[in-house]
Chains A and B, each alone.
Chain A
Amino acid sequence: AQKITQTQPGMFVQEKEAVTLDCTYDTSDPSYGLFWYKQPSSGEMIFLIYQGSYDQQNATEGRYSLNFQKARKSANLVISASQLGDSAMYFCAMRYHRDDKIIFGKGTRLHILP
């Protein structure tokens, strides 16, 4: 079954610390893509980073990086030097290249403490 699991419903992190948000997935397809989105309290969905299943290197975008472990089927988001503005819901999503369907995990609510 195709499934995305985010095991941390909520996290509290001190400002300026690094934080890792967990994401595991289940698929039998060899070709897929993984996305992370941020949803602040305003409700908008902000795309953060993408990792393809065949990419040789872990994706990075500014303070965001993806710890992609294909054999373990995990794609954890790492935020370095966290800021108060990072407080939000974070969603992991997977796109199945075979049919282009995109499903989301239940999300992790991140709270950055001053």
Chain B
Amino acid sequence: GAGVSQSPSNKVTEKGKDVELRCDPISGHTALYWYRQSLGQGLEFLIYFQGNSAPDKSGLPSDRFSAERTGESVSTLTIQRTQQEDSAVYLCASRPGGGNNSPLHFGNGTRLTVT
């Protein structure tokens, strides 16, 4: 079946512009996560959605970052007034809601470059 799909795969934007990143999770996966990975670094947790519950936004680095998800479908991560330090790969992952041992399934990421 189809995996997690992210678009665009690459995005180059000018400092100060807004960008929107999209994630299509695996059908039926109720949990959706966004992470940020700077070059050669680990995965920084940004936000997590579980079904219709309020999202866990504890990892968003500033109020320039926001994310939405409608039900159990597509999610968008929006970065307003981009800064050069926002340059990174943004990874989306989904997993079934139930089952403690079900792993995250990752998309291929969106590589964001802010010039």
Contact = CB atoms under 8 A, between A and B. Distances in A.
Interface in B94-111: 97, 100-101, 103-106, 108-109
A72 B106 CA distance: 30
Contact of B100 (A47, A52, A91, A103): A52
B42 A106 contact: yes
Interface stretch (A13-21, A62-70, A79-87, A93-101): A93-101
A97 B89 CA distance: 27
Interface string A92-114: 01010101111111110100000
Given A99-B56, A102-B104, A91 B91 contact: no
Nearest to B30: A100
Interface string B65-104: 0000000000000000000000001010100010011011
A25 interface: no
B48 A100 contact: yes
A43 B103 contact: no
A50 B103 contact: yes
Contacts of A102: 33, 45, 48, 104
Contacts of A101: 45, 48, 56, 58
Interface string A18-48: 0000000000000001010100000111010
Interface residues of B, number: 25
Contacts of B91: 45
9 contacts: A33-B101, A50-B103, A52-B100, A93-B43, A97-B100, A100-B31, A100-B50, A106-B41, A107-B42
Given A45-B93, A106-B42, 11 more contacts: A35-B103, A44-B108, A50-B101, A50-B103, A97-B100, A100-B50, A101-B45, A101-B58, A104-B44, A105-B42, A107-B41
